[in-house]
Amino acid sequence: GAVVSQHPSRVICKSGTSVKIECRSLDFQATTMFWYRQFPKQSLMLMATSNEGSKATYEQGVEKDKFLINHASLTLSTLTVTSAHPEDSSFYICSASGGLGLQVFFGPGTRLTVL
Partner 1 sequence: AQSVTQLDSQVPVFEEAPVELRCNYSSSVSVYLFWYVQYPNQGLQLLLKYLSGSTLVKGINGFEAEFNKSQTSFHLRKPSVHISDTAEYFCAVRIMDTGRRALTFGSGTRLQVQP
ω into 8 cis (within 30 of 0): yes
> Closer CB to partner 1, residue 1 or residue 61?
1
Contact in structure between 102 and 90 (CB atoms under 8 Å): no
Beta bridge mates, 90:
112
Q: Which of 11, 13, 46, 76 contacts partner 1 by CB under 8 A?
A: 46
Which of the stretches 12-20, 65-73, 74-82, 88-96 binds partner 1 when contact is defined by CB under 8 A? 88-96
6 forms part of the interface with partner 1 (CB under 8 A): yes
CA-to-CA distance for 105 and 93, rounded, in angstroms?
11
Per-residue binding string, partner 1, 53-82, x by CB under 8 A, is ------------------------------
Q: Are strands 32-38 and 19-25 parallel, antiparallel or unpaired?
A: unpaired
Residues in the chain, overall count: 115
Residues at the interface with partner 1 (CB under 8 A): 1, 4, 6, 32, 34, 41-46, 49, 91, 93, 95, 97, 100-104, 106-109, 111
